[in-house]
Amino acid sequence: LAKTTQPISMDSYEGQEVNITCSHNNIATNDYITWYQQFPSQGPRFIIQGYKTKVTNEVASLFIPADRKSSTLSLPRVSLSDTAVYYCLVGDLNTGGFKTIFGAGTRLFVKA
Amino acid sequence: KAGVTQTPRYLIKTRGQQVTLSCSPISGHRSVSWYQQTPGQGLQFLFEYFSETQRNKGNFPGRFSGRQFSNSRSEMNVSTLELGDSALYLCASSARDRGRGGDFFGQGTRLTVV
């Protein structure tokens, strides 16, 4: 299972773009990258998932370079309600085993 | 469309007792996963069920067990409760096989062992 490394915490201000980078140097050929968001006392919420290049949805963008050894979650124009913990998971969707590793995540604080 | 429903939301048990938690996945979802979350250990995977079969298991003692029914509803059981079992227990279901498209989590069951 690919190990991931994320910053423990980040600060930002309302209206700014936030980029959270996740390192996964030993990512395997069949591995996908999945990001979740979690608010206190709630279950994580799926944000975005990708394999290579760029994926965009109504919430965020995911940038994955050609070597796939890292990925960047981009949150455009954050608001106070984006204050949460963000988790990066890497693994083979065919086995589902990547679900076993959530890690500590990145605590994002958005200030007014 | 209803989300993942976990019952009960809150539970207080005494050390040594056993507890059963329930999870109803989103309609049509066949994969159900269980997690334990504590301030000290973070989110830890317990097990995953798909079509009534356990296909992934985390590193928890045998006191933690689960099952899935034919309607995809799942239960997890913890026997001989210990103080350290106090945690938020989360259930998640998948829209597609093997986590493609992400999992949908419930609100969790807050278990307190006294």
Q: How many CA atoms lie within 13 A of B84 on its CB side?
A: 6
d(CA A8, CA A38): 14
d(CA A15, CA A80): 9
On chain B, the residues whose CB falls within 8 A of the CB of A60 are none
Residue type, A74: S
- Mean model confidence pLDDT for chain B: 91
Q: Which of A49, A97, A101 sits opposite B101 (nearest CB)?
A: A49
Looking at residue B39, what is its pLDDT?
85
Looking at residue B103, what is its pLDDT?
84
CA distance A76 to chain B (A): 21
d(CA A5, CA A22): 6
- Residue B73 scores a pLDDT above 80: yes
DSSP A15-79: T--EEEEEE-TT--TTEEEEEEEE-TTS--EEEEEESSEEEE-SS-EEEE-TT-SEEEEEESS--
CB contact under 8 A, A101 and B88: no
CB contact under 8 A, B100 and A49: yes
d(CA B34, CA B27): 17
**Other CB atoms within 10 Å distance of the CB of residue B95:** 17
Pairing of strands B10-13, B64-68: unpaired
Across the strands, what pairs with A64? A53
- Asked whether the CA dihedral A20, A21, A24, A27 is positive or negative, the reply is positive
First to last CA, chain A: 38
pLDDT digits (tens, 9 = 90+) for B44-53: 889 999 889 9
Looking at residue B20, what is its pLDDT?
98
On chain B, the residues whose CB falls within 8 A of the CB of A99 are 33, 45, 48, 56, 99, 103
Closest CA to B83 of B112, B43, B42: B112
pLDDT in tens, chain A (112 residues): 568 899 999 999 999 999 999 999 988 898 899 999 999 888 999 999 999 999 999 999 999 999 999 999 999 999 999 999 999 988 877 766 666 677 789 999 999 9
Does residue B86 belong to the interface with chain A, where contact is any CB pair within 8 Å?
no
d(CA A45, CA A110): 18
